[in-house]
Amino acid sequence: MELNKRSKQEQQQSEKEGFEYIDILLENLEQRRLFANDENSSIHFSLNDVYMLYKVVAEEFSEKLHQSILNGDNVEHLTHFPDLLEVYCTADRNLQTANVISDEQIIWTIGEFISVLSSPIVYKKFGGLYQDCIIELIKLLRPPDILFVQKQIVLILKALMLFALPIFAGKTSDVVDKKSHLVYNINSDQGQVIFATPMGDIVLGPVISILQHGTVDESIMQNNDVLIYLWFCLLHVILIGVSRVKNKAILLTQRLLSMDACNPMFADLLFDDLMAVERWLYHLAPEIFGNEELRLKEALETCERTFGDAVRK
């Protein structure tokens, strides 16, 4: 009984610290801005600031966030955290001296955010906010680490496709609730960083958006295996995904086409997929043709124009 009471008290203290750290970090930021004489002044952070930032990530962005939202607990303090994290990380990257926040810490944070976004209830509450934060954090990484994150996210997408196929096929499945994880390790002088995400259909949309807006550029052609995995995944999503995810996948393939990152085999498969989506939209009943389908139609037309330009080259 005493142990249970102590455990509960420790949990309450842990949650309280999460709130306190966000407030302290906000206050510290305001104080540092007051001492900055002009726009060009550097804002210096301490290791204690970094500790508080990543203590918040470790404590607040875990499986308990899903339960907290279900219980109706107040989690509004987490709506301010993405901006706070971006400000600290960006200012740290702009320092003339050595960075306090390492790339490994940023990559770990990206993994934690993707992990919690795989919960439908968390995604509904924070999805767009933290998806955008992930994209901004990726931009702060050094090119080799961006390539690393790009590869891991493509591999996550590949694994998600294997696990999510029963959902796309309309079959009853417990895929969203599976506890299996993808885990990737970074070996560095500073230790080991785990990059992990649970399996879940809901995370497909954010993962594709992160690739589209955060990592995919001409550098993807440096890794042929990753590019092949990505093409196979996108072709599957275009063919059997829901309208929202089809739209994102088509826009990403359009970007790959514009970078000339498509071979004749994938071009043939893409043509078949685009025609299949076009036929599906054409035969869709007017009463179920909503905003998602309208956006899908626009994405399809954009991709088809780019596809035509690529073929004519």
pLDDT in tens, 109-161: 988 888 888 777 888 888 888 989 999 999 999 888 888 888 888 888 887 77
The answer to whether the CB of 207 falls within 8 A of the CB of 160 is yes
Distance CA 294, CA 278 (A): 12
- pLDDT, tens digit, for every residue of 4-48? 544 444 444 444 566 678 888 888 777 766 555 555 455 667 788
Residue 194 has a pLDDT of 45
Looking at residue 204, its pLDDT comes to 77
Q: What percent of the chain has pLDDT over 70?
A: 76
14-39 as b/e: b if 16+ CB within 10 A = eeebbeebbeebbebbeebeeeeeee
Please tell me whether the overall predicted TM-score, pTM, comes out greater than 0.75 for this model. no
Q: Which helix H or strand E contains 182, and what residues bound it?
A: strand 181-188
Strands 181-188 vs 191-198: parallel, antiparallel or unpaired: antiparallel
Tens of pLDDT along 275-294?
999 999 998 888 788 888 99
Higher pLDDT, 189 or 254: 254
Task: Print the SS3 string covering 41-59.
Answer: CCCCCCHHHHHHHHHHHHH
pLDDT over threshold 60, residue 193: no
Q: What mean pLDDT is predicted for residues 64-92?
A: 88
Answer for the pair 253, 303: CB distance below 8 angstroms, yes or no: yes
Q: Provide the H-helix boundaries in the chain.
A: 2-35, 47-60, 63-70, 81-93, 103-117, 120-139, 143-168, 204-210, 224-240, 243-258, 264-282, 291-312
